[in-house]
Amino acid sequence: MEKQSINNENIINAYGAGTQNGFEALYQAYYNDVFYFTLNLSGDAHGSLDITQTVFMKAFGEFNKKNISDVRNIKSWLFKVAVNEFYQLRRSYINKIKYLVKNIFRFIDKETEIHSEYIEKKILEEEKNSLGKWLLQIEEKDRIILVLRYYDDLSYDEISAILEIEEGTVMSRLFRAKEKLRRLMENEAE
Amino acid sequence: MKLNNDPDQKIKEVFSNAALRRQNIDIEKIKNMQFKTITAKESFATKIIWLAAVILIIYLTYASTNVSNGNFKKSGAFDISVFEELPMEKPQENKSVRPPDFLFLLSAFLLEGLILFYMIKFIDNIITSILLKFSHDKFKTIHLIC
């Protein structure tokens, strides 16, 4: 897959043309964002890869149908789908079973397994005593906002649209999450 | 030990450091693999291949029970008469042996090809994964056979 010069305008133009290149531009531009976003939420590389793949499968489906109505907010749309997938995986028993079955098939699909293991190992090495560990100790709904605000650099307005909650709620949850993170960081530093 | 006076700044630093560290993690390979999976137009084709494989297996089972006694053209898929007792063949009779027909050979060939393809792919996956386990960075682009 060739690297392209990517900007939002390219994606929108390519999307308008409805070509495979358009989707590739979108994929190249946002794959890492979506993957690390879900990784920050779940702390699990395997699960994050699954969610990321599902998000882009949905995007590809919508892309082919030319159905993404607000293409200028494509990143927000992808994040919204990722959040929904994350919650679905956590809440739905069917999805948990699907996830388990998929994990069994990882024994067959060894190559994917090796790459997932590599990523997980690297991330654990990098973050065994820092962000990843702290994030998992923050309540899920607060963690999402913290990640969207500080890791993905989104505005209150965008976060509010992604999570479909009031901006005021975003601010109060963010405040709570920051307090918790600050305490964790202080405990670590002591 | 207390953190500096601007906790917001400190939080920003923690997140940006994490983002920087993650740039060293190579996720390109799995990204490309997932891209191929997502954009693969073979989902329908795969179904057709599997359907064909099932039909071939049924056909081969059917043909192999019939082709040897020359009743193949006579009997249908649900014709149980082929299971009925047949008159004993006389050993001295000069029976003309009917060679397997073209469709039978084609089916056998296709099915064997399909099985062979998946076997090779499976072996290739195993070898590749062993090499990747040995050294991910060295062999990340390797794929031996297919």
User: Does residue B146 belong to any structural domain of this protein?
Assistant: yes
Q: Residue A23 carries which side chain, given as an amino acid letter? A: F
How far apart, in Å, are the Cα atoms of B104 and each of A7, A134, B51, B77?
Answer: 56, 64, 17, 14
pLDDT at B87: 58
Predicted pLDDT of residue A39: 87
Of the partner residues B7, B30, B122, the one whose CB lies closest to the CB of residue A115: B30
Residues of chain B contacting residue A126, judged by C-beta atoms under 8 Å apart: 18, 21-22, 24-25
* Predicted local distance difference test score (pLDDT) of residue A170: 93
Q: What is the ipTM of this complex?
A: 0.73
Q: Which string of DSSP letters, residue by residue, matches A7-67? A: -HHHHHHHHHHT-HHHHHHHHHHHHHHHHHHHHHHH--HHHHHHHHHHHHHHHHHHHHTT-
- Closest Cβ–Cβ partner in B7, B19, B39 for A60: B39
| B12–A109 CB contact, under 8 Å | no
Are the beta carbons of A131 and B18 separated by less than 8 Å?
Answer: yes
Q: Is B38 on the interface with A (CB under 8 A)?
A: yes
Residue A73: DSSP 8-state: G
Q: B52 lies in a domain?
A: yes
Number of domains composing chain B? 1
In whole angstroms, give the CA distance from residue B140 to residue B136.
5
Please indicate, yes or no, if residue B88 is contained in any of the structural domains. no
pLDDT (0 to 100) of residue B79: 52
Contact A110 B11 (CB under 8 A): no
B119 vs A contacts (CB less than 8 Å): none
Q: Is B142 on the interface with A (CB under 8 A)?
A: no
Residue B45 lies inside a defined structural domain of this protein: yes
Give how far Cα A21 sits from Cα of A11, A60, B35, B38, Å: 9, 11, 12, 13
For the structural domain made of A129-190, what CATH number should be given?
Answer: 1.10.10.10
Strands, E assignment, chain A: none
Tell me if B146 sits within 8 A of B120, measured CB to CB.
yes
Q: Do you know the residue count of chain A?
A: 190
* Model pLDDT, residue A14: 63
State the distance between the two ends of chain B, measured CA to CA, in whole angstroms. Answer: 57
What pLDDT does A176 receive? 92
Contact across the interface for A111 and B128, Cβ inside 8 Å: yes
Q: Which residue has the higher pLDDT, B131 or A84?
A: A84
pLDDT of residue B109 exceeding 80, the answer is no
Q: Do the Cβ atoms of A71 and A153 come closer than 8 Å? A: no
Asked whether the beta carbons of A146 and A174 are under 8 A apart, the reply is: yes
Q: How far apart (Å, rounded) are the C-alpha atoms in residues B68 and A154?
A: 73
The predicted-structure confidence for B21-59, as pLDDT tens digits, reads as follows: 887 777 888 888 888 888 876 556 566 667 777 777 777
Residue from the list A52, A53, A131 with its beta carbon closest to the beta carbon of B15: A131
A32 contact partners, CB below 8 Å, separation of at least 6: B27, B31
Considering only CB atoms, A178 lies closest to which of B7, B18, B30, namely B7
A112 touches B: beta carbon within 8 Å: yes
In terms of pLDDT, which residue wins out, B66 or B25? B25
What residue numbers bound the domain in which B67 lies? 41-74+99-146
Mean pLDDT for B93-105 is 62
Q: How long, in residues, is chain B? A: 146
Is residue B92 included in any domain, yes or no?
no
Tell me, yes or no, if B146 comes closer than 8 A to chain A by beta carbon.
no
Sign, CA dihedral B32-B34-B35-B36, equals positive
The lowest-confidence range among A167-181, B68-82, B98-112 is B68-82
| pLDDT of B116 over the 90 cut | no
φ, ψ for residue B11, nearest 5 deg: -65, -45
Stronger pLDDT, B138 or A59, i.e. the higher one: A59
Specify if B107 maps to a domain.
Answer: yes
* B41 in reach of chain A (CB within 8 A): no
What is the C-alpha separation between B114 and B49, in angstroms, rounded?
9
**Alpha carbon separation from A149 to A53, A139, A140, B54 (Å, rounded):** 23, 15, 14, 52
Q: How far apart are CA B99 and CA A185, in angstroms?
A: 81
Put simply, the answer to whether A151 touches B24 (Cβ < 8 Å) is no
Cβ-defined contact of B132 to A186 (cutoff 8 Å)? no
Q: What b/e sequence results for A31-67 when a residue is b if at least 16 CB atoms lie within 10 Å of its CB, and e otherwise?
A: bbbbbbbbbbbbbbbbbbbbbbbbbbebbbebbeeee
**Tell me, what's the pLDDT at A6?**
47
Distance CA B129, CA A166 (A): 48
Rg, C-alpha atoms of chain B? 30
- For residue B138, is pLDDT > 50? yes
Q: Say yes or no to pLDDT of B17 above 50.
A: yes
Q: Where do the structural domains in chain A lie, given as residue ranges?
A: 1-127, 129-190
Q: Which residue ranges of chain A lie beneath pLDDT 50?
A: 1-6
- Looking at CA atoms only, how far is residue B119 from chain A in angstroms? 12
Is there a contact between A145 and A163 (Cβ–Cβ < 8 Å)?
Answer: yes
Q: Does A118 contact B136 at a Cβ distance shorter than 8 Å?
A: yes
- In whole angstroms, give the CA distance from residue A168 to residue A166: 5
Structure tokens at A41: 């939420």
B6, B30, B131, B133: best to mutate for the A interface, most A CBs within 10 A:
B30
- Which three-class secondary structure state does DSSP give residue A184? helix
Residue A130, Cβ density class (10 Å: 0-12 exposed, 13-18 middle, ≥19 buried): middle
